[in-house]
Amino acid sequence: MLLHLSTWTEVEAYLQHSQGIILPIGSTEQHGPTGLIGTDAICAEAIAQGVGEATTAMVAPTINVGMALHHTAFPGSISLRPSTLILLIRDYLTSLTKAGFTKFFFINGHGGNIATLKAAFSETYAVLADLQLPNADRVQCRLANWFMAGSVYQLAKQLYGSQEGSHATPSEVALTQYLYPAAIKQAELSPEVGSGHPIYGAVDFRRHYPDGRMGSNPALATPEHGKQFYELAVKELSNHYLEFLSL
């Protein structure tokens, strides 16, 4: 059930039997020469909607822009500052808590969001308590990074080994190829790819990772692999969501 395709009366009826909602969040950033700029949001949205269908859960609109400041030396990348993303998450959750939701399950597609999301959850708990909203003490947030799901991680290692890397990975590129086969990109990839350098500012990042990849070989990706990653992620995160609701 998609929130943006529902009426307020349908949401009110949903809240009579569940206070859980899934929130997909990703990023709009470079993903190397063959990865789509919207990869992180595309993956999070598709998996979130799959989990929603499997568990009859409400799914919120996708948060497409995240914390990706270190990618902004590459054209097309868009980023929020951590402080901005914290305020955005806080306002989202305050609005939804006022409506009656108390269980917020974030399906995340971007590693750069993790620290900021955890900080946003802590700030939200404090703000909701200060506002003395009904059920504020029952609000719980859970972060689920689809790419870190055990079954997904195991398949990526099995298919790609060390060439999975940590950004513009074949696993995430494969998933976008499965979801958008008409948008598959081809490009010559250098056999040399940066890896192991700490992340600082955007210019420094591009200096060490000149084509945007971080130890990855997305040429290994196929749509068939993407279908496997999708099915594994939906299955595992559906179980995690239902367990979260039962707490």
pLDDT digits (tens, 9 = 90+) for 223-239: 999 999 999 999 999 99
pLDDT at 68 (0 to 100): 98
Percent of the chain with pLDDT over 70: 100
pLDDT digits (tens, 9 = 90+) for 5-28: 999 999 999 999 999 999 999 999
Among candidates 25, 28, 43, which has minimal Cα distance to 114?
Answer: 25
Q: Which helix (H) or strand (E) holds 103?
A: strand 103-108
Prediction pTM value? 0.98
pLDDT at 191 (0 to 100): 93
CA distance 76 to 89: 23
Q: What are the domain boundaries of the chain? A: 3-187+197-246
Average pLDDT, the chain: 98
Among candidates 175, 176, 216, which has minimal Cα distance to 194?
Answer: 216
Half-sphere exposure of 76 (CA within 13 A, CB side): 13
Percent of the chain with pLDDT over 90: 99
Find all residues with CB under 8 Å of 163, minimum gap 6, and list them. 170, 215, 216, 217, 220
pLDDT digits (tens, 9 = 90+) for 147-175: 999 999 999 999 999 999 999 999 999 99
Half-sphere exposure of 57 (CA within 13 A, CB side): 31
pLDDT at 122 (0 to 100): 98
**To the nearest 10°, the Cα dihedral for 2, 170, 40, 246?**
50
Q: What is the mean pLDDT of residues 180-189?
A: 97
CATH superfamily of 3-187+197-246: Creatininase (3.40.50.10310)
What single-letter DSSP state applies at residue 212? S
